[in-house]
Structure 1
Amino acid sequence: MPGDTSSASDDRFGSRDDVVQRGPVQLRGDRARDTTTRDQRLLDRRGPSDWVHTDPWRVLRIQSEFIEGFDALAEVPRAVAVFGSARTPVDHPDYEIGRRLGAALVEAGYAVVTGGGPGAMEAANRGACEAGGFSIGLGIELPFEQRLNEWVDLGLNFRYFFARKTMFVKYSQAFVCLPGGFGTMDELFEALTLVQTGKITRFPIVLFGSGYWSGLIEWIRATMVREGKIFEPDLDLLSVTDSVEEAVQIIREAHRGDEEGILYGEETSW
């Protein structure tokens, strides 16, 4: 039919359902089929070496991610980062907990920051949004596409994990980890290392769901502490709870006495 170009468009560019996010850029159809990421191409040293000579130019792209992140997040209020599995179904109890947690954090005066994806992240963003608070999502380019969820008020997409991690730590006053996988573990131990080494201070790390996290805590106590890889007081860097109210209280107690409205990132050295 005249004016109907949908078929031609589909034949030429592939399905309109094929959509990927490459940093701030969105691609559709055939252009969306490259499953490699910027991190992968930066770190992978196999194959022809001619691309090595372009690394200095990649510094400019990395720099731009930091500039864009600092610029977009500079005015955010005090915030708490909530991590958890992207695979948590909407009808799972963990999703409802994430939603309640997001709302409770807003009511306590915090913005909510997540990885911006589905599952537990969406739940926390949704709870914050529904409670009338500030809902932030920091996405990452992945080989399997993951878009920012619809409950994000301010969203940023990053190419590099290390730039994204800096934003989480700089603009969050605490981490709450809902049950999750490798990504959640990565953020958890990143925060633990920074607190243990004194890079950040007064930074509560809350593990939500004693049934999920108890095995990890026991292994840390029975193996790491027993063999002298960490000290017993290092366990105090972690709090475990099954209560939304207690999670929020732990965070508020840790920051009691802070000047109202001060950004946690301004209290650290960068």
Structure 2
Amino acid sequence: MNPMEKAGWTPLPHSDEDLEHIKRVPDTPQTRAATYRLAWDDPDFMTRRELRPVRLQLELLKPEMTLAERGIESTVVIFGGSRIPEPGGKAWAAKNEAQKCNLEANSRYYEEARKFARLCSQHSARSDFREFVVVTGGGPGVMEAGNRGAHDVGAPTIGLNIVLPHEQAPNAYVTPDLCFNFHYFAIRKMHFVMRAKAMAVFPGGFGTLDEFFETLTLIQTGRMERVPIILFGSDFWSRAMDLDFLAEQGTISPGDQDIIDLVDTADEAWAIISRFYGL
């Protein structure tokens, strides 16, 4: 093949070629100086506060390019508490006996998230895993259950991790080359919604509520197309929030509550998605 016919060919050297060349230059005080490093290969430079706009762009581009190259066109997002254990597992986050009992009782949502992810992934296989690919925050609890359900049926599954002091490390069921890590919450949120065809929200804490309400706001304001937003756990959500009260107070419009569907099982949730898209 003519070199000019190769994809991405250029008469100028690629940056990776320059990096190899730099490794072969003589070792001198000048070449060891930080100023001599190529800018993009200099961690001290790339992590300066002035470089924040560049880092934001890189965090947007890296996952986007990878997902596009894999041909992933749409996703199903699973949000939920990192502290919810699998049935029979240890309630490691419990601070008292009441929390321990409640977290253990909520472990049923781990199983429903796992089953829901299996249903999504079985349908995803029909599109050669281009549509309805399961994506989670990549951590433990409900996130692990979502990735695990996809893994159960041999489907690829995405994890969008973020650097936190605790509770957040990749679970073992995320497809390794679809496991991403973020510094900026804002860019991570963009990746959750950019390909989302549905969102399933399980019981969780501030992080779950943050992602949930951000998505509601995007749909309510017309900045995002309507997609199924499904809450798992009628008992939990009836106490965690009261959208009817907000409508009565006039702080949301009548009918805004209808953006949400409330379910208790994975089968109910998949039926909603199937009806919405005519699957």
- The aligned amino acid for 1:95 is Y
Give CA deviations for 1:130-157 in whole Å, capped at 9, x if unaligned. 1122211000011225211110011100
Farther-moved stretch of structure 1 (140-149 vs 230-239): 140-149
Residue 89 of structure 1 is matched in structure 2 by: 85
Farther-moved stretch of structure 1 (168-177 vs 138-147): 138-147
Give CA deviations for 1:179-235 in whole Å, capped at 9, x if unaligned. 111111001001100000111113111000111111245x2212x111111112101
Residue 118 of structure 2 is matched in structure 1 by: 103
Q: Structure 2: any 5+ residue segments left out of the alignment?
A: 1-47, 88-106, 125-131
Residue 240 of structure 1 is matched in structure 2 by: 262
User: By percentage of residues, which structure has more helix?
Assistant: 2
Residue 71 (structure 1) shift = 0.7
Identical columns (%): 42
Residue 78 (structure 1) shift = 2.4
Give CA deviations for 1:22-56 in whole Å, capped at 9, x if unaligned. xxxxxxxxxxxxxxxxxxxxxxxxxxxxxxxx543
For residues 260 and 191 of structure 2, the distance between their equivalents in structure 1, rounded to whole angstroms, comes to 21
Q: Structure 2-normalised TM-score?
A: 0.69
Residue 42 of structure 1 is matched in structure 2 by: none
Residue 57 of structure 2 is matched in structure 1 by: 63
Q: Structure 1: any 5+ residue segments left out of the alignment?
A: 1-53, 258-270
Which structure's CA Rg is the greater one?
Answer: 2
* Secondary structure class of the residue paired with 1:56: helix
Q: Structure 1-normalised TM-score?
A: 0.72
Aligned partners of 1:85 and 1:120 also within 8 Å: yes
Q: Does 1:214 align with 2:228?
A: no
For residues 229 and 187 of structure 1, the distance between their equivalents in structure 2, rounded to whole angstroms, comes to 20
Aligned partners of 2:78 and 2:134 also within 8 Å: yes
For residues 73 and 139 of structure 1, the distance between their equivalents in structure 2, rounded to whole angstroms, comes to 15
Farther-moved stretch of structure 1 (190-199 vs 138-147): 138-147
Residue 196 of structure 2 is matched in structure 1 by: 172
Aligned partners of 1:202 and 1:254 also within 8 Å: no
Residue 158 of structure 1 is matched in structure 2 by: 182
Kindly report which structure 2 residues correspond to 1:18-167, keeping only aligned pairs within 5 A, or say none: 55-74=49-68, 75-91=71-87, 92-109=107-124, 110-144=132-166, 146-153=168-175, 154-167=178-191
Q: Does 1:197 align with 2:221?
A: yes
Aligned partners of 1:83 and 1:178 also within 8 Å: yes
Residue 100 of structure 2 is matched in structure 1 by: none
Let me know the Cα RMSD of the aligned residues.
1.5
Give CA deviations for 1:238-258 in whole Å, capped at 9, x if unaligned. 10001211101212222238x
Residue 175 (structure 1) shift = 0.8
